[in-house]
């Protein structure tokens, strides 16, 4: 019992620390020499942009980042990917009990939505009632809540959980006013009430204009106008303030940025992992030997060299199916900064017991062990059937570039393939999970919580969980153990055990973490690079312009 009380006290203090962490950041820029209220910043983000809310299954990272600026949240994402207390509309969030798990949300007094309505605990209750009924991975934690109790003054909401949910800090993000209609029309961004550091003035799928919410209590010295665009080319021509986050990284992109001497730039990691996923009941891929052969036959280092060998940073060969390269728990090289080399190093690792290595000769051996014989036209089984593949690919240009390299490698092995393009990444994953294709190649987004990625192999198969169609008892047991563990260090040990099971079963073959290209006007102060689009954007209210130095 004493140990339990000690742990509870630690968790409560940790929660309070997270909540108050934002305060020093706002104070440090409270009175700089340059006032930003009358200034405009142009913010370039990956498109497209839509009017979906945070709970919608199709809401992308850029749309979520915009919502962080115009909707109340319990926690937001720091540049390092750690969730921190937002401290604005929801002033504090505290884990107060573990038996049962209880979380108390305290709201700011007297804050109003942009339509004049008072923000109260009833907005959180309406959000919970809506979220828990959705067939979406984003509603996982809301389904774990048994009840919400609102205080008489409407400023304190107490959540009691029916089952432990360690990722409680991911809940109540970008909450909408109660009664707001659903849908993803871009006009919703303007029509629906805002509450945050900014208000939405206008919105199209390629351009959103935000104006300063003068009623917001934090970061009073912030840019008065923010123009969010999907155009990656700086439009300020060196005469204004610009910040950009791009998932397209190539030598021409780097050279284009170098033509703007007023900009600083950084090549780093992102939160998107390029991967292969195999169909669980396909004639080919249901056999472990064939999944091994197809995985080992790809030279991922050569693939990386081909894609990014001409720029000063390249991702490493993936070491995890759950974590992206920049995350703290990633088991391999972190890769949070540019490398010193002009090209990446080509290596030829052997196939190791943990399934991470690439080995072409091992792939040939696996095909022979599986009973296939090689002839001049390819591989044939004992019944004379030729080994071929149906490959699905996501919509991004990088997905297609990777698919071309993979298909070329498989043709060299003697395995021809046909290619089908899907409208989005999740649809490509679904096609593999339902055996429409044998292999899917796509970019999977990771988040601050590994449970989001791990849900592909545990629990109900929702479209936005990137369903795999694979369920293993050992994985389900580890998932349930990790999601109920409030100690992030020991929880990560469990997540990594789950990770190894998936890698050894070869249901997924992670290739690499996509790089990102981040740029900003050199006079911007306090800007930090981030592996997450949201982590990059959420710091915007604290950015300031350095005053001109005296000659």
**219 vs 341, which has greater pLDDT?**
219
pLDDT at 87: 85
Confidence category of residue 548, pLDDT binned at 50, 70, 90: low
List, edge to edge, every strand of the sheet that includes 101-107: 90-98, 101-107, 156-161, 145-150
The stretch 98-116 carries a mean pLDDT of 97
pLDDT band of residue 182 (cuts 50, 70, 90) is confident
Q: Which two tokens stand for residue 156?
A: 């304190």
Show the 3-state SS of 300-368: HHHHHHHHHCCCCCCCCCCCCCCCCCCCCCCCCCCCCCCCCCCCCCCCCCCCCCCCCCCCHHHHHHHHH
Give the tens place of pLDDT for each residue, 467-497. 999 999 999 999 999 999 999 999 999 999 9
Q: Which of 152-161, 212-221, 431-440 has the lowest mean pLDDT?
A: 212-221
- Return the ∠ at Cα 118 (arms to 114 and 120), rounded to 5°: 125
Burial of 375 (0-12, 13-18, 19+ CB in 10 A): exposed
Rounded to an integer, the average pLDDT of 3-29 is: 35
**What pLDDT, on a 0 to 100 scale, did the predictor assign at position 356?**
63
Task: Please classify residue 180 by burial: count the beta carbons closer than 10 Å to its beta carbon, then call 0-12 exposed, 13-18 middle and 19+ buried.
Answer: middle
Split at pLDDT 50, 70, 90, the class of 4 is: very low
- The mean pLDDT value for 515-522 works out to 92
- Closest to 469 in 3D by CA, of 460, 479, 481, 478: 460
The set of residues, in sequence order, having a beta carbon less than 8 Å from that of 122 and lying 6+ positions away, is: 150, 154, 178
Select the more confidently predicted residue: 241 or 27: 241
Per-residue confidence (pLDDT) for residue 350, from 0 to 100: 41
- Domains, the chain, ordered by start: 2-262+522-545 (3.40.190.10), 273-514 (3.10.105.10)
Can you give the pLDDT at residue 187?
93
Kindly state the average pLDDT of the residues 186-191.
94
Nearest of 151, 7, 14 to residue 94 by alpha carbon = 14
Cα angle: 364, vertex 440, 417; to 5 degrees: 50
Q: Which of 466, 463, 430, 462 is nearest to 447 (CA)?
A: 466
Residue 3 has pLDDT above 50, yes or no: no
In our burial notation (b when 16+ CB lie closer than 10 A, e otherwise), range 279-308 reads bbebebbeeebbbbbbbbbbbbbbbbbebb
CB 316 within 8 A of CB 328: no
| pTM, full prediction | 0.88
Instruction: Determine contact, residues 262/522, Cβ cutoff 8 Å.
Output: yes
**Tens digits of residue pLDDT in 399-412:** 999 999 999 999 99
On the question of pLDDT at 33 being above 70, the answer is: no
Task: Please state, for a pLDDT cut of 70, what percent of the chain lies above it.
Answer: 88
pLDDT tens string 375-393: 999 999 999 999 999 999 9
Token output for 380: 């044939």
Mean pLDDT value of segment 240-260: 87
Cα gap 274→249, rounded to integer Å: 14
- Where does the pLDDT of residue 507 fall: very low under 50, low under 70, confident under 90, or very high at 90 and above? very high
User: Residue 537: what are its φ and ψ, rounded to 5°?
Assistant: -80, -35
Using an 8 Å Cβ cutoff, are 526 and 41 in contact? no
Which residues lie closer than 8 Å to 437 by C-beta, 6 or more apart?
279, 390, 391, 392, 420, 428, 431
pLDDT band with cut points at 50, 70 and 90 for residue 99: very high
**3-class secondary-structure state, position 394:** coil
The tokens describing 76, both together, are 């937001």
pLDDT at 50: 93
């Amino acid at each position: 019992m004493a140990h339990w009380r000690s742990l509870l006290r630690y968790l409560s203090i940790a929660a309070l620390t997270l909540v108050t962490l934002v305060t020093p950041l706002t104070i440090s820029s409270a009175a700089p020499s340059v006032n930003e209220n009358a200034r405009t910043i142009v913010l370039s983000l990956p498109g497209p942009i839509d009017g979906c809310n945070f709970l919608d299954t199709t809401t992308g990272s850029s749309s979520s980042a915009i919502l962080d600026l115009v909707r109340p949240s319990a926690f937001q994402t720091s540049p390092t990917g750690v969730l921190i207390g937002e401290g604005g509309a929801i002033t504090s969030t505290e884990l107060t009990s573990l038996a049962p798990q209880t979380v108390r949300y305290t709201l700011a007094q007297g804050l109003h939505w942009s339509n004049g309505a008072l923000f109260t605990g009833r907005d959180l209750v309406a959000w919970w009632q809506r979220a828990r009924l959705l067939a979406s991975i984003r509603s996982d934690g809301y389904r774990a809540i048994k009840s919400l109790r609102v205080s008489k003054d409407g400023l304190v909401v107490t959540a009691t959980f029916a089952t432990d949910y360690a990722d409680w800090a991911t809940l109540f993000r970008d909450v909408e006013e109660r009664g707001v209609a659903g849908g993803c029309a871009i006009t919703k961004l303007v029509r629906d009430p805002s509450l945050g550091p900014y208000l939405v003035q206008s919105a199209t799928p390629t351009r959103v204009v935000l104006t300063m919410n003068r009623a917001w209590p934090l970061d009073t010295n912030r840019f008065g106008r923010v123009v969010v665009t999907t155009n990656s080319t700086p439009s300020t021509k060196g005469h204004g303030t610009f910040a950009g986050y791009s998932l397209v990284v190539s030598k021409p992109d780097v050279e284009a940025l170098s033509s703007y001497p007023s900009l600083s730039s950084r090549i780093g990691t992102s939160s998107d992992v390029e991967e292969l996923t195999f169909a669980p009941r396909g004639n080919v891929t249901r056999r472990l030997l064939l999944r091994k052969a197809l995985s080992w036959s790809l030279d991922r280092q050569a693939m990386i060299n081909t894609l990014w060998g001409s720029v000063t940073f390249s991702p490493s060969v993936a070491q995890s199916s759950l974590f992206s390269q920049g995350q703290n728990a990633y088991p391999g090289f972190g890769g949070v900064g540019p490398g010193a080399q002009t090209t990446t190093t080509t290596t030829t690792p052997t196939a190791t017991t943990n399934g991470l290595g690439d080995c072409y000769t091992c792939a040939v051996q696996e095909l022979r062990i599986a009973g296939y014989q090689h002839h001049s036209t390819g591989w044939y089984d004992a019944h004379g059937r030729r080994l071929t593949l149906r490959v699905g690919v996501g919509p991004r240009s990088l997905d297609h570039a990777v698919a071309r390299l993979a298909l070329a490698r498989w043709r060299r092995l003697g395995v021809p393939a046909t290619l089908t393009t899907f409208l989005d990444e999740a649809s490509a994953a679904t096609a593999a999970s339902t055996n429409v294709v044998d292999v899917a190649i796509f970019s999977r987004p990771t988040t601050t919580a590994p449970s989001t990625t791990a849900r592909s192999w545990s629990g109900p198969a929702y479209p936005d969980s990137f369903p795999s169609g694979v369920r293993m008892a050992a994985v389900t047991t580890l998932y349930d153990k990790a999601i109920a563990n409030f100690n992030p260090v020991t929880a990560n040990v469990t997540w990594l055990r789950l990770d190894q099971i998936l890698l050894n079963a070869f249901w997924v073959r992670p290739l690499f973490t996509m790089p990102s290209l981040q740029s900003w006007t050199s006079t911007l102060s306090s800007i930090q690079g981030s592996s997450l689009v949201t982590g990059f954007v959420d710091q915007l209210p604290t950015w300031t312009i350095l005053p001109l130095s005296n000659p």
